[in-house]
Structure 1
């Protein structure tokens, strides 16, 4: 029987990393070289995302503490062109999460900061996940599914499911859009699929600062 590791072990280290990330945004991220695969980059629909910049501006006071590295969007941007698979292998896009505030996170088992923040993301989903909010963690390990499945089982990450893109296309798309340069990368997306903010590097997502940000974004 696989032994589950306690999820609280990472908290102190993540709080320290998040504090540093607030000073040097993204400094803790693991640099990733872009592969040749990728999804088509879509042009942001300014009409659909009208008011998003103002919404992000209102959230600025919540981009602090553990989540100080979150950068608010400066122009309307629709998060499109991302294709991945759900736990059953069925194809998905961000359109599947319409009407939900989404914390979109890209991770890989070979990314040490990712491994350390996954339990915190799991705790966040357990604490505040509902029909209006979801943590969407997408694994970008290449190869078969065994490695990420084993990691989730060993660390007791049981609330996120295993969403995957083994082609790394989601990362490549976000990199070309200037939203990602390494892992982990996290996007805060509203219910219309519009970007509110993005962060490169890990954070203590189960802390009070992150929960306050999600509550504010969900109600914005």
Structure 2
């Protein structure tokens, strides 16, 4: 049986990793304007993301406390080309979530902070998931679906759908863009498919700080 960390009381290990993540986020701020190639490359449609600058500006005061490691971008990028698979193995891109604000999260079963924050992501989806917002966690374990499915079942994650990329192409694509340095990686994408903030490292996504950030991004 997997030991579960209380949702509102992250372990000391998680807190320590989050501190390091905050330092990494500072570095990410330098690169968050970059674009790259491959899976996850930002669409070169800056005009379509012009209005997203207002959302990125609006959420900046909300990037504090438990989500202080998130970095708002000054130049929102279209991210709809990010591709992965659903639980049935069918291809999906972020274009499929058009009209929703998405908290996109890359995780793996071998990543300790990923495992610790997953119940909090599940709680966030339970409370705020709607036709306007969705948590989209993408597992990047190689091999078949057995390990991630077992992990989600053992930790009681019942509100999140299983999405997969066993090629790790999504992570590598985001790495080329300067958006991924390690796991977990979390992108906040608005309802137009434009990146408005990003972070490397874990967060207490069931916290009041996190919920305020999501509500600010959605506009509720």
Q: TM-score, normalised by structure 2?
A: 0.87
1:13 corresponds in structure 2 to: 11
**Structure 2 unaligned runs (5+)?**
27-37
Shift of 1:45: 0.9
5 Å-filtered alignment, 1:26-175, equals 26=25, 39=39, 41-175=41-175
**Structure 1 unaligned runs (5+)?**
28-37
Q: Tell me, yes or no, if the aligned pair for 2:21 and 2:200 is still in contact at 8 Å.
A: no
CA distance in 2, matches of 1:116, 1:150: 15
Shift of 1:88: 1.5
Q: 1:4 to 1:18 in 2, by over 3 A?
A: closer
Shift of 1:74: 1.5
For residue 10 of structure 2, give the secondary structure of its aligned residue in structure 1. Answer: helix
CA distance in 2, matches of 1:88, 1:12: 33
For residue 47 of structure 1, give the secondary structure of its aligned residue in structure 2. Answer: helix
Q: Tell me, yes or no, if the aligned pair for 2:113 and 2:201 is still in contact at 8 Å.
A: yes
1:24 aligns with 2:42: no
Q: Tell me, yes or no, if the aligned pair for 2:5 and 2:11 is still in contact at 8 Å.
A: no
CA distance in 1, matches of 2:6, 2:196: 29
CA distance in 1, matches of 2:24, 2:154: 30
For residue 11 of structure 2, give the secondary structure of its aligned residue in structure 1. Answer: helix
Q: Tell me, yes or no, if the aligned pair for 1:123 and 1:206 is still in contact at 8 Å.
A: yes
For residue 134 of structure 2, give the secondary structure of its aligned residue in structure 1. Answer: strand
Q: 1:23 to 1:185 in 2, by over 3 A?
A: closer
Shift of 1:56: 0.6
CA distance in 2, matches of 1:11, 1:41: 35
Q: TM-score, normalised by structure 1?
A: 0.87
Count of matched residue positions in the alignment of Structure 1 and Structure 2: 208
Shift of 1:24: 2.0
Shift of 1:51: 2.2
2:201 corresponds in structure 1 to: 201
Q: CA RMSD in A?
A: 2.2
Q: 1:13 to 1:123 in 2, by over 3 A?
A: same
Shift of 1:181: 1.0
Q: 1:160 to 1:50 in 2, by over 3 A?
A: same
Q: Tell me, yes or no, if the aligned pair for 1:19 and 1:65 is still in contact at 8 Å.
A: no
